[in-house]
Chains A and B, each alone.
Chain A
Amino acid sequence: MSVKIKILVIALLICVVGVLSIYSSTYQKEGKLWQDIYQRQVFWIFLGILLFLLTSNFNYRGLWDWTYLLYGLAVLLLLLVVFLGIVRLGAQRWLRIVWFNFQPSEIVKLIMVVFLARYFSRKSVDNIDLKADKYGIFKGLIVPFIFTIIPVGLIIDQPDLGSGAIIIFLFVLMLYLGRVKLRHILVFLMVIFLLMPVSWNFLRDYQKDRIMVFLNPNIDPLGAGYTIIQSKIAIGSGGILGKGWLSGTQSQLHFLPESHTDFIFATFAEEWGFFGGVMLMLLYYLLIRQGIYIAECTHDHFGKLLAWGISMLLAVEVVVNLAMNMGFAPVVGLPLPLMSYGGSSVCVTFIALGILVNINKRRAVF
């Protein structure tokens, strides 16, 4: 079986499970809007598959040329959010495009991966060696950080601490994989660590609450701690075999907030139990493993680093979301790729998978 088919099959399996869970979590909710939500997700998945097929046939080397254009587009989109974005759930993260809402921070994550992959795979004209090996602290750390912090700052300001933190985390991973000197990375981590107490004061109150609640959910059981407690109850009450599809009381009776988006895993685990949960984790692991396999087989430095970046983006999103659902990570607004309801997330994930497949297709060229 070709890599392309493998990736598509795994992705679609996850999507099917996702649609089932979305259907279940909105099943008891009243109103046409809620009832139609799973249909819209199906539409986004079809759109995603289309984008997947397109990008898998589009030469990823084109991204090399368009990197700065894409970066500019990312910053532009984020600025548009600041001025034109619509406010939902207390945050300004969405752009209204004709008839749907688009969340630019999703695509910005992918663009930043492309940008950093390109930055760390530049070569000098007279030498085929990577420049990154010889970068000093300025070129190796400060310049890419400045490029990164601009969109990150805009995202955190939305406020979307989760996406911002993910990009910073990806930045560190790219430094590591892009062969920047370890001591530079350590310096960067030290600076971040030292800045933490200072940055506490710049956080919004609800963000402080969430971090406090992550440390101890019981300090505010009806407020910020509610979601984490309900999510743990939902997952835990599923037991070995789960309560059965459409029978999860936690999500069906609306005890669990955001049960069709960020907390879709809790909905799923409540109804499908431990076996279902482990099967889902296995699917995600196989998907990420495919990405890493492609990255390892690719000789083109840009392609290799891009494949790594995409795999890591997926891995970080999946791991952080699952950990958040189980109460191991603070509640940050991060979707579970391919499962959570949301067009932006689904489409961007399929585009990323398409790029992966394309890298795999072209690795023989180099």
Chain B
Amino acid sequence: MRTKLATLALIPVFFLLVLGLLNLQLIKGDKYRKLSDKNCIRLIPQLGIRGRISDRNNFVIVDSILSYDVMILPREAGDIDQSLLRLSGILNTPVKDLKENFINNMVSASIPAAVAKNIDAKKAIALEELKIDFPGLVIQPNPIRHYRYGKLACHILGYLNEIDRWRLTKLEDYGYKTKDIVGFGGIEEKYDYYLRQEDGGLSVEVDRKGRFVRVLGFRPPKNGKNIQLTIDMGIQKIAEDVLGERKGSVIVMQPDTGAVLAMVSRPNFNPYIFIKRSEYLLSHVFNNPDAPLFNRSISGAYPPGSVFKAIVSSAGLETGKITLRTVSYCPGYLNVGNHRFNCWSTHGQQGIIDAIAHSCDVFFYRAGLSLGPQMIYEYAVKFGLAKPTGIDLPYEVGGFVPHPLWKKIYRFRNWFNGDTVNLSIGQGDLLVTPLQMTRMMAAFANKGKLATPYLVKAVEEKDISAMQQKITNLGLKAATIEYVRQGLREVVSDAHGTGNILGDLPVSVAGKTGTAEVDGKKSHAWFTGFFPYKDPKFVICVFLEYGGHGLESCILTKEIISRMYREGYIER
């Protein structure tokens, strides 16, 4: 009886063992397989190098150099406070900072945590020699951005920083991960996908003590693609020098293609501070009320003032509301309804060409009234206003052109003739970016074609200019363009032209000044023009935020052009 029971007990016991095996190997098999792989497979990252950015003459603007991070492997470091104290002596950094970095970067005992970033090569070598009696110390070489021209062209380039939550959610599907370094603003952001390196790695099998056993796989790191810009660093430097510390923007562009040769915005910033990560300098940039990170050339929308008259002239000539025979008498003011609109001077008899040259407000008040706001709006849009130009930079704004319907819907008021009068001299609610003005002026330079500005000429040696150039014909009459061009030339060549100061340059310049009034503040100063007049090679736009009279911009333009001439950028 008892023996029977003992015999029978054996079967369920073995059955339970088989069940146990079934549970471990079949039901939980995948989980344990993963754990087993995790046990013995280690990934050693191999860093790739981010693409280089160079100018049109292949001068390198930004590339990458090796910098060194000091890291501590917590598992092997022993007394961490002691190690940090020693490091602080060698690196000349307060222990508090090192400790703080260590705590922020510590992920797990077996992953090195950075305590100091971007130390120079000399210190790295010194530390490397100390490694023997410094357990857990890791010196990690790390490619970082090297800005060869310092602050120059910083708004075009943008800067690099750790990816933020907003970008991460947007880019996650493209393989971006937390802690990735990505471009913020400028080419670095727009072309991040091309510039971005792909880190490779070795997957190795290790034994229990983490010792290397064999290589399981290797993925070579891929360097990012190099990018060549249309920017000419020589012209860029002239423009930056001339603008100095004034707030504003300078753009130089090829009128036929839309290739941007220089683009400056002030105030600017040093992209290196985002690599150095100095809290003081960063907060200085972020808290500056003048917003140095903001690219005024494309993201700043301002009233254009008289520069807008070029568009009103074209509209008038094209629709026949103005002809060469149209003459208007300027007594220094115009009464519209029961409101008197002043001209900035008293011009007397003015034809269209004179009116452009002298920037006669009264002439354009009348022209505007005869065209009507809807027509002005249509021509403004035709010349690329009220929408982004489509330049290959992020965060471009479209500006704004008011029209009666908009006013009705959003301001709950009717459109008055006074509004038309204001609009026809580029005041009121009208807002444009310096780049839009450059583009508009380019259309007169290249005889009626609207070119889309672009910055990237080639990606990894492959010229993409043909794809970048998007040029549409505005379909204006040749005469219209010709008469406005004559007017723009007279601005400079006429003795009383508003841009007369540019007349004694060795190249023939045409253009339009603008003094955009701002309530209660100094006006914005504009000059936008092209040169040489006969066969324009350059369009220029100089904008000074709260810079005063348009003449201020002319003075800077003159200096830029004469320096470009002296340095051989303009064919003699």
Interface 9-mer from A136-144, A191-199, A204-212, A232-240: A232-240
Q: Tell me if A236 and B40 are in contact (CB < 8 A).
A: no
Q: Tell me if B28 and A236 are in contact (CB < 8 A).
A: yes
**B14 — which chain A residues lie within 8 A by C-beta?**
281, 284-285, 319
**A278 — which chain B residues lie within 8 A by C-beta?**
18, 21
**A334 — which chain B residues lie within 8 A by C-beta?**
none
Say whether, besides A288-B10, A322-B17, A326-B20, A233 and B32 are in contact (CB < 8 Å): yes
State which size class the interface on B falls in. Answer: 20 to 34
Interface 9-mer from A47-55, A56-64, A97-105, A246-254: A246-254
Within 8 Å by CB of B21, from A234, A315, A326, lies A326
Q: Could you tell me the distance between the alpha carbons of A230 and B39 in the complex, rounded to whole angstroms?
A: 9
Q: Tell me if A236 and B24 are in contact (CB < 8 A).
A: yes
Q: Could you tell me the distance between the alpha carbons of A233 and B39 in the complex, rounded to whole angstroms?
A: 9
Q: Does B6 contact A (CB under 8 A)?
A: yes
**A123 — which chain B residues lie within 8 A by C-beta?**
none
**B2 — which chain A residues lie within 8 A by C-beta?**
176-177, 179
Interface 9-mer from A78-86, A153-161, A269-277: A269-277
Q: Could you tell me the distance between the alpha carbons of A352 and B2 in the complex, rounded to whole angstroms?
A: 23
Within the complex, what minimum Cβ distance (angstroms) separates B230 from chain A?
A: 55
Say whether, besides A253-B40, A326-B20, A237 and B29 are in contact (CB < 8 Å): yes
Within 8 Å by CB of A239, from B3, B33, B35, B40, lies B33
Nearest-CB residue, chain A, relative to B14:
A285
Q: Does A308 contact B (CB under 8 A)?
A: yes
Q: Tell me if A253 and B206 are in contact (CB < 8 A).
A: yes
Q: Could you tell me the distance between the alpha carbons of A249 and B28 in the complex, rounded to whole angstroms?
A: 18
Q: Could you tell me the distance between the alpha carbons of A239 and B6 in the complex, rounded to whole angstroms?
A: 32
Within 8 Å by CB of B32, from A237, A240, A289, A312, lies A237
Q: Tell me if A177 and B6 are in contact (CB < 8 A).
A: yes
Within the complex, what minimum Cβ distance (angstroms) separates A183 from chain B?
A: 14
Q: Does B26 contact A (CB under 8 A)?
A: yes
Within 8 Å by CB of A237, from B3, B36, B208, B213, lies B36
Within the complex, what minimum Cβ distance (angstroms) separates B76 from chain A?
A: 15
Within 8 Å by CB of A177, from B3, B30, B33, lies B3
Q: Tell me if B33 and A237 are in contact (CB < 8 A).
A: yes
Q: Does A255 contact B (CB under 8 A)?
A: yes
Say whether, besides A236-B32, A237-B36, A328-B20, A273 and B6 are in contact (CB < 8 Å): no
Q: Does A16 contact B (CB under 8 A)?
A: no
Q: Does A91 contact B (CB under 8 A)?
A: no
Interface of A is mostly: helix
Say whether, besides A232-B32, A253-B207, A239 and B26 are in contact (CB < 8 Å): yes
**B208 — which chain A residues lie within 8 A by C-beta?**
253-255
Q: Does A220 contact B (CB under 8 A)?
A: no
B 172-207 binary contact with A (CB < 8 Å = 1; else 0): 000000000000000000000000000000000111
**A110 — which chain B residues lie within 8 A by C-beta?**
none
Q: Tell me if B36 and A235 are in contact (CB < 8 A).
A: no
Q: Tell me if B36 and A308 are in contact (CB < 8 A).
A: no
Q: Tell me if A269 and B7 are in contact (CB < 8 A).
A: no
Q: Could you tell me the distance between the alpha carbons of A362 and B38 in the complex, rounded to whole angstroms?
A: 57
B interface with A by C-beta (< 8 Å):
2-3, 6-7, 10, 13-14, 17-18, 20-22, 24-26, 28-33, 35-37, 39-40, 205-209, 213
Interface contacts beyond A254-B208, A278-B18, A312-B6: sample of 20 additional A-B pairs, CB < 8 Å, sorted by A: A173-B6, A176-B2, A177-B6, A236-B29, A237-B33, A239-B26, A239-B30, A253-B206, A253-B208, A255-B36, A255-B208, A269-B25, A274-B25, A278-B21, A288-B10, A319-B17, A322-B17, A323-B17, A323-B20, A326-B20
Q: Which 9 A-B pairs have the closest CB atoms?
A: A236-B32, A237-B36, A253-B207, A239-B29, A274-B25, A236-B24, A254-B208, A237-B33, A237-B32
